Amino acid sequence: MGDTDGRDDRWARAGFATRAIHAGQDPDPATGAVIVPVYQTSTFAQRGVGEHAGWDYARSGNPTRDALETALASLEGGAHGFAFASGLAAGDAVLRTLAPGDHVVMGNDVYGGTYRQFARVHGPWGLEFDPVDLSSVDALEAAWRPETRLLWVETPTNPLLTVFDIAALAAFAHERGARVVVDNTFATPALQRPLALGADVVVHSTTKYLGGHSDVVGGAVVTSDGELAERIGFLQNAVGGVPGPWDVFLVLRGIKTLAVRMRAHCENARAVVAALEELPGVRQVLYPGLPDHPGHDAATRQMDDFGGMVSFRLADEAAAVAACGRFRVFTLAESLGGVESLVEHPGRMTHLSTAGSPLEVPGDLVRLSVGIEDPADLVADLHQALAG
């Protein structure tokens, strides 16, 4: 049932935190189980040929997955949600709606794996694409072509935390007949709802904040565009990059606490940013909540708060690499969005695949995913790690 209408109208008027807990997550009709069960089955018995309760084979649909898809659609304010095996599988499904010769304009700072998928999978297959500074209308106009079909926007960006104006970009693309996709992984729908700002599609790595506990890999697509939803639903089943029921269950459990977790991530990020600004050796702090951040105005307009991701620059690459190895509370690891704080060196870790490309990240950059530990412990860890 992945391609059916994902709305749960009963909760349509409820607040965000309520929908995160209830939309798509009614008690199990068969048993009364309060939590959506893990339907660990590949197939469903039919009463007669073609007569079934809505599920026939679990690649095409599974009740646990349906619950997550309904919840995700509700949180993003979209009509249709689709769960995928990873964030990259979700993005792949969106790009497969295009055809060889079509052109995509994308931001010039995106997740390294997203860039690798464009450059080494969809590019060789025939999709044209150009990375562009999306805050410059001149750059956008210069890159735009008659065959541009899609504008790919990640905001805030990974790892530079650049913010792009979703409403302005949607207006620009729509005037020219293209769709807009927003990778909403960093902000989550708790802080930013791209569909309401004019975007056509939202993609997520649910591995990050939506899952929230660093224990699952997953992805999602949400849209209210019926034609696109039909295509994505078809691709979800026909290509088959679907998540298993346990993974879906973990993401569903994660999103129940999304609202409170995001508040704590934002609070702690503020404490971390304040500490970084005082530390000698930190040349620049990149955080959309800072008034001198170039995207601060756009962030204030389109986000409810500024998120839990913070990047900063040290003297040089050697200093950044050395600092990454000195943290004790922050764990040196890729990924982000979990309850535990993580630190990483994007140039040598998450964004290695952008080396030598127009998206190469500075070597002196360190990225933090600020968790929900006691902020005093995080600040103390920053002091000891950056004192050396």
Ligand X SMILES: *Cc1c(COP(=O)(O)O)cnc(C)c1O
Interface positions with ligand X (CB under 6 A):
86-88, 111, 113-114, 154, 158, 183, 185-186, 205, 207-208, 217, 219
Please give the Cα distance from 205 to 138 (Å, whole number).
Answer: 31
Residue 380: CB minimum distance to ligand X, A: 27
Cα separation, 322 vs 36, whole angstroms = 45
User: Shortest approach of ligand X to residue 11 CB, angstroms?
Assistant: 26
Angle at 111 between CA 106 and CA 117, to 5 degrees: 70
Closest chain position to ligand X (CB): 87
Residue closer to ligand X by CB (options 358, 388) is 358
CA 93, 97, 99, 103: dihedral to nearest 10 degrees? -90
Burial class of residue 159, CB neighbours in 10 A (0-12, 13-18, 19+): buried
218 vs 375, which CB is nearer to ligand X? Answer: 218
Q: Considering 111, 115, 209, 287, which one is annotated as catalytic?
A: 111
User: Exactly one of 65, 116, 193, 208 is catalytic; which is it?
Assistant: 208
Answer for the pair 26, 37: CB distance below 8 angstroms, yes or no: no
Closest CA to 229 of 185, 187, 195: 195
* Catalytic entry in 8, 66, 130, 183: 183
From CA 126, how far away is CA 195, in angstroms rounded? 28
- Minimal distance, residue 13 CB to ligand X, in Å: 30
For 114, the token pair is 């997203």
User: Closest approach of Cβ 207 to ligand X, in Å?
Assistant: 4
Q: Which is nearer to ligand X, 337 or 375 (CB)?
A: 337
> Hey, what's the torsion of the CAs at 312, 189, 178, 1, to 10 degrees?
130
Residue 208 is a catalytic residue: yes
Min dist CB 69 to ligand X, Å, is 16
- Select 11 or 118, whichever has its Cβ closest to ligand X: 118
Segment (H or E) for 106: strand 103-107
CB of 330 to ligand X, least distance (A): 17
Q: What is the DSSP string of 109-159?
A: S--HHHHHHIIIIIHHHT-EEEEE-TT-HHHHHHH--TTEEEEEEESS-TT
Distance CA 133, CA 124 (A): 23
Nearer to ligand X, 233 or 338 (CB): 338
Nearest Cα neighbor of 235 from 373, 356, 95 is 95
The closest of 13, 55, 4, 57 to 30, measured between CA atoms, is 55
Active site residue 111: yes
Catalytic residues: 59, 111, 183, 208
